[in-house]
């Protein structure tokens, strides 16, 4: 399986939040997601094989999602423009918007906790982490973080996990306790995840238009939509996405075309028609840039779709 195919499968397998994924760099086909129910928790284990942006929203009412990097090697991950510490925990309450950006391959875990199951004692200990619809970061100490990873690793997932409900209940309780304890004893308290930079890119992109067929907006238009100068806009995009505005817009266009070429509805269409419908005018230059990111030409992606549907 190619790296781009593995990435598409990865994006389709992630659950619990509404997320749009963008591949931002070449990597290896080391993309995977494993998720399942353990008691009242949904636990996911993920592996990203290359640079990626995950732009999402916790649309489910009544749940809070905790996300942690589990590879614990050197990597660069940010949440809404704020660097995630090695033992950092992202807290995503209901209604919170988030943009994770990573520069290199890494592994992560997420735990979805229904707020209806939070006891009064746990609510008091969590403080305001789950009360506002804003993503935040917690810097846990190494020992507390390790207890979370150990508890998650021991939690049974999959259909067999529910055949022994008492075991699953105890495992879920261990994960919950480790999470709450890590947050209560966190270093320096919670930090709201860079609302300034996040707000700037959201305003810029909302005002710059989301129509696939429209030409990519000019930098001056993005600045006007966000109400900031060019220098501030560039700083915000680099903080949130790890790249300048023009590069982000090109990466977004490339990923949208890639997804469209793999859509069964594209079967029978000309590749140039798909490209034109996404605002592409210079086919040759676009094809070379596309191959640099996805490892194949747009025509090869289309042929792969045709082969898969036969």
Where is mean pLDDT largest: 93-97, 128-132, 160-164, 228-232? 228-232
Residue 248 and residue 156 share a domain: no
Residue 200's pLDDT is what? Answer: 95
Kindly give the pairing relationship between strand 82-83 and strand 106-114: unpaired
How much of the chain exceeds pLDDT 70, in percent? 87
Q: Is the pLDDT of residue 162 over 60?
A: no
Is residue 307 very low, low, confident or very high in pLDDT (cuts 50, 70, 90)?
Answer: low
Q: Which of 166, 192, 218 is the last residue of a domain?
A: 192
Tokens of 238: 């680099």
Q: Which of 148, 168, 192 is the last residue of a domain?
A: 192
What count of other Cβ atoms lies within 10 Å of the Cβ of residue 245? 25
Range of the domain at 279: 195-309
In our burial notation (b when 16+ CB lie closer than 10 A, e otherwise), range 60-96 reads eeebbbbbbbbeeeebebbbbbbebbbbbbbbbbbeb
Residue 282 and residue 147 share a domain: no
Tokens of 133: 């619809």
Q: Is the pLDDT of residue 268 over 70?
A: yes
Residue 45 and residue 151 share a domain: yes
Q: Residue 91 forms beta bridges with which residues? A: 66, 136
DSSP state of 131: T
Residue 262 and residue 249 share a domain: yes
Q: Is the pLDDT of residue 172 over 60?
A: yes
Tokens of 218: 């000019």
Q: Is the pLDDT of residue 183 over 90?
A: no
Tokens of 43: 């636990």
CA dihedral 5, 11, 14, 17 (to 10 degrees): -170
Q: Residue 229 maps to which CATH number?
A: 1.10.10.60
SS (H, E, C) 158-205: CHHHHHCHHHHHHHHHHHHHHHHHHHHCCCCCCEECCHHHHHHHHHHH
- How many domains does the chain contain in total? 2
Residue 140 and residue 10 share a domain: yes
Residue 160 phi/psi, 5° resolution? -65, -20
Average pLDDT, the chain: 87
Residue 202's pLDDT is what? Answer: 93
Residue 216's pLDDT is what? Answer: 83
Total-model pTM? 0.89
> For residue range 65-79, what is the model confidence (pLDDT) as tens digits?
999 998 866 667 999
Q: Which of 175, 192, 209 is the last residue of a domain?
A: 192
What count of other Cβ atoms lies within 10 Å of the Cβ of residue 258? 22
Tokens of 220: 């001056």
Residue 199 and residue 187 share a domain: no
C-alpha angle 44/47/48, rounded to 5°? Answer: 130
Q: Residue 181 maps to which CATH number?
A: 2.60.120.10
C-alpha angle 150/76/250, rounded to 5°? Answer: 130
Tokens of 283: 């086919």
Token match 């798909």: residue?
274
Token match 């609302």: residue?
195
Of the listed ranges 110-114, 122-126, 170-174, 229-233, the least confidently predicted one is 122-126
Residue 162 and residue 176 share a domain: yes
* Residues near 235 by beta carbon (within 8 Å), at least 6 away in sequence: 197
Residue 205 and residue 181 share a domain: no
Residue 170 and residue 253 share a domain: no
Residue 159 and residue 87 share a domain: yes
> For residue range 16-57, what is the model confidence (pLDDT) as tens digits?
999 999 999 887 778 999 999 998 999 999 999 999 999 999
Residue 102 and residue 25 share a domain: yes
Q: Is the pLDDT of residue 1 over 60?
A: no
* Residue among 148, 214, 176 nearest 41 (CA): 176
Residue 171's pLDDT is what? Answer: 93
Residue 26's pLDDT is what? Answer: 81
Where is mean pLDDT largest: 137-146, 178-187, 207-216? 137-146
Is residue 85 very low, low, confident or very high in pLDDT (cuts 50, 70, 90)?
Answer: confident
> For residue range 247-264, what is the model confidence (pLDDT) as tens digits?
999 999 999 999 999 888
DSSP, collapsed to helix, strand or coil, labels residue 129 as: coil
Mean pLDDT of 230-246: 96
DSSP state of 251: H
Residue 291 and residue 203 share a domain: yes
């Amino acid at each position: 399986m190619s790296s781009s195919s593995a990435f598409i499968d990865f994006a389709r397998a992630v659950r619990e939040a509404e997320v749009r994924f963008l591949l931002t760099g070449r990597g290896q086909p080391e993309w995977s997601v494993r998720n399942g129910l353990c008691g009242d928790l949904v636990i996911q284990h993920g592996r990203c094989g290359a640079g990626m942006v995950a732009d999402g929203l916790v649309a489910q009412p009544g749940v809070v999602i905790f996300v942690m990097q589990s590879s614990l090697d050197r990597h660069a991950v940010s949440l809404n423009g704020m660097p995630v510490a090695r033992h950092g925990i992202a807290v995503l309450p209901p209604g919170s918007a988030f943009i994770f950006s990573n520069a290199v391959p890494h592994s992560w875990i997420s735990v979805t906790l229904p707020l209806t199951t939070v006891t009064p004692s746990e609510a008091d200990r969590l403080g305001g982490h789950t009360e506002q619809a804003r993503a935040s970061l917690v810097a846990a100490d190494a020992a507390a973080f390790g207890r979370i990873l150990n508890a998650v690793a021991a939690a049974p997932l999959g259909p067999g996990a529910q055949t022994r409900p008492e075991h699953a209940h105890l495992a879920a309780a261990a994960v919950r306790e480790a999470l709450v304890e890590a947050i209560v004893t966190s270093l320096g308290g919670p930090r709201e995840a860079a609302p300034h930079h996040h707000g700037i890119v959201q305003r810029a992109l909302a005002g710059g238009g989301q129509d696939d067929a429209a030409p990519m907006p000019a930098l001056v238009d993005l600045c006007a939509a966000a109400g900031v100068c060019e220098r501030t806009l560039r700083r915000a995009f680099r903080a949130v996405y790890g790249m300048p505005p023009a590069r982000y817009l090109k990466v977004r266009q490339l990923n949208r075309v890639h997804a469209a070429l793999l859509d069964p509805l594209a079967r029978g269409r000309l590749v140039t028609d798909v490209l034109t419908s996404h605002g592409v005018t210079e086919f040759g230059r676009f094809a070379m840039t596309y191959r640099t990111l996805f490892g194949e030409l747009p025509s090869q992606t289309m042929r792969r779709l045709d082969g898969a549907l036969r």
